[in-house]
Amino acid sequence: MFITLKIIHLFCLFVGGAGSVGNAVLLKRVGASGESPAPWLREAMGVLGNMSFWAIVLLWVTGLGMISITAGTLAVGWAFYVKLLAATVVLGASGFLKWLRGRAATGGPAPDPGKVRLWSMVGMSGVTLAIVFAVIAFN
């Protein structure tokens, strides 16, 4: 069971990272062009966003499963809790960006590019902290 959880966890790390980086690159290119993205590009960015969001959710599920199997409890040290806090920030930022995109897709207002940029940077910072403290926690 642990090996299965770990395989899913690592796969989700790759999917979440690739989707996030891909979306960031596309967002930067769209912003630099000064034009509204083509419908196919908006759709592709939505797919990348959904893949990233659900990968992050699966990271949470598999991570909690693995820690409960190996430690039997969540009391694994201070670095683990900092990593968990950073992962919460990533999940929150990703969920908020997903909500903004969904609201716009259903006829709501278009997301403010400054707000999208800010929350993207918050999410990327959270990912960086989560990685650093995961290495510290599990070293």
Taking only the tens place, the pLDDT of each residue in 68-104 is 888 766 567 888 889 989 999 988 988 898 888 888 8
Neighbours of 59 (CB within 10 A): 22
pLDDT at 115: 85
Give every CB contact of residue 88 below 8 A, 6+ residues apart in sequence. 126
Q: How many domains does the chain have?
A: 1
Residue 49 to residue 93: CA distance in whole angstroms:
12
d(CA 84, CA 134): 9
Domain with 117, as residue range(s), is 2-137
User: Is 12 a residue whose pLDDT tops 70?
Assistant: yes
| Average pLDDT of the segment spanning 131-137 | 90
Sorted by sequence, the CB contacts under 8 Å of residue 115 that are 6+ apart come out as: 100
* Residue 11 binned pLDDT confidence (cut-offs 50, 70, 90): very high
Integer Cα distance of 20 and 131 in angstroms: 15
Name residues whose C-beta falls within 8 Å of residue 120's C-beta, 6 or more positions apart in sequence: 23, 24, 27, 93, 97
What does the pLDDT look like over 54-71, one tens digit per residue? 998 999 899 888 888 887
pLDDT tens-digit series, residues 15-50: 988 888 888 788 888 878 888 778 898 888 888 888
- Taking residue 67's Cβ as centre, other Cβ atoms within 10 Å add up to 19
Q: Cα 61 to the chain's mean position, in Å? A: 14
pTM of the model: 0.78
